[in-house]
Structure 1
């Protein structure tokens, strides 16, 4: 398979906030979009963004431990991704949600913000977006390098994932 042309959203799901990033149809670069408050309206807002950007898919970071094991945070993200996949399927049939390993994405996002001259205090509002950029750019780079879509697709019918 070659690069699947189309816009994508990247999301960094947290307990309080969800960072969102997007890319151009050719996958040249991921850019920050916004930070969505976690809670009852989060799914609806992400579906609205997916519609606005006319995305091919949504890539969500799966927070694995350094050992590669899934902990409580990964379980929460899987549940959220399942809900998002169902909502997207209803609103935009054919648009999938993929989960990719996001280890150290927040650290990488913080490093990029620091390198751009932002202090930790001034970065709090955008750190989740920066992590979403790292997640999405990693997915883009992986697909272009390997020629296959990265991570695992959330199965809408079963609420599970598969490669």
Structure 2
């Protein structure tokens, strides 16, 4: 599903209009892509499919309720959300970085796990570090087309999104083309020894993923949305809690 987001000159809340609308509008248009993933359980998947068929509006979750943190900060700095966990998925190692956009992201860890163990470890780290969104690097070619590795990353991100949504956490995909070379250049500029670069390159690649995400203010980040409606409701409830917290603590700003 795809929606077109219009940001007015002095926005208080984003306005969504259908793609292809002929209305003239001032401001900037941003595409936010929402991908729906199937559950791993066949039984729950079949029940969800019937619910989706009977209630397409509920399945088509409103993107404005699930904007990435960088987009929220662009619209209103006081509604920034928690930390973002950058994830650089590799065949054997996964690099992690942490950031909030106010300061440069920092390398966090390199995890040598795969499959379910990796997914559970990512959730554990997210809860420990007060993370509310995962920014997963999506491999692309020089021409910005997806590769066979992109499909593997999408599969992992889809499974992670299900586990994350159970805890009210969101998962996004971010184009990571060129971030490995950027990470290498960055480490060399920092004067890191070759032995250190070899062990921490994945974490610094995750730093570059977050750098790109924040530098683009979340534009182009692709939400990975679980198909199960109950999980969608958990994400919506988490967003509502954040809104209520904002309104309670910043009443003057919330009413403007």
Q: Aligning the two structures, in what range does the TM-score lie when normalised by the shorter sequence?
A: 0.7 to 0.9
Q: After TM superposition, give the deviation of residue 149 of structure 1 in Å.
A: 4.9
Q: After TM superposition, give the deviation of residue 111 of structure 1 in Å.
A: 0.6
Match of 2:105 among 27, 30, 33: 30
TM-score, normalization by structure 2: 0.56
Provide the rounded CA distance (Å) in 1 between the counterparts of 2:219 and 2:129: 20
TM-score, normalization by structure 1: 0.86
Q: After TM superposition, give the deviation of residue 44 of structure 1 in Å.
A: 0.8
Which ranges in structure 1 are unaligned for 5 or more consecutive residues? 159-163
Matched, 1:155 2:228: no
Aligned to 2:172: 98
Provide the rounded CA distance (Å) in 1 between the counterparts of 2:205 and 2:94: 10
What do residues 4-42 of structure 1 show as CA deviations (whole Å, max 9, x unaligned)?
332110000010110000014x53221011001131311
Which ranges in structure 2 are unaligned for 5 or more consecutive residues? 1-13, 15-71, 74-79, 229-256
Larger radius of gyration: 2
Provide the rounded CA distance (Å) in 1 between the counterparts of 2:110 and 2:196: 14
Are the aligned partners of 1:57 and 1:97 in contact in 2 as well (CA < 8 Å)?
yes
Structure with the larger helix share = 2
Are the aligned partners of 1:27 and 1:140 in contact in 2 as well (CA < 8 Å)?
no
Q: CA RMSD in A?
A: 1.6
Aligned to 1:121: 195
Matched, 1:18 2:122: no
2:216 is paired with a residue of what secondary structure? helix
2:87 is paired with a residue of what secondary structure? strand
1:98 is paired with a residue of what secondary structure? strand
Q: After TM superposition, give the deviation of residue 121 of structure 1 in Å.
A: 3.4
**1:60-75 residue pairs with structure 2 within 5 A?**
60-75=136-151
Change in 2 beyond 3 A, CA 1:135/1:100: same
Matched positions, count:
151
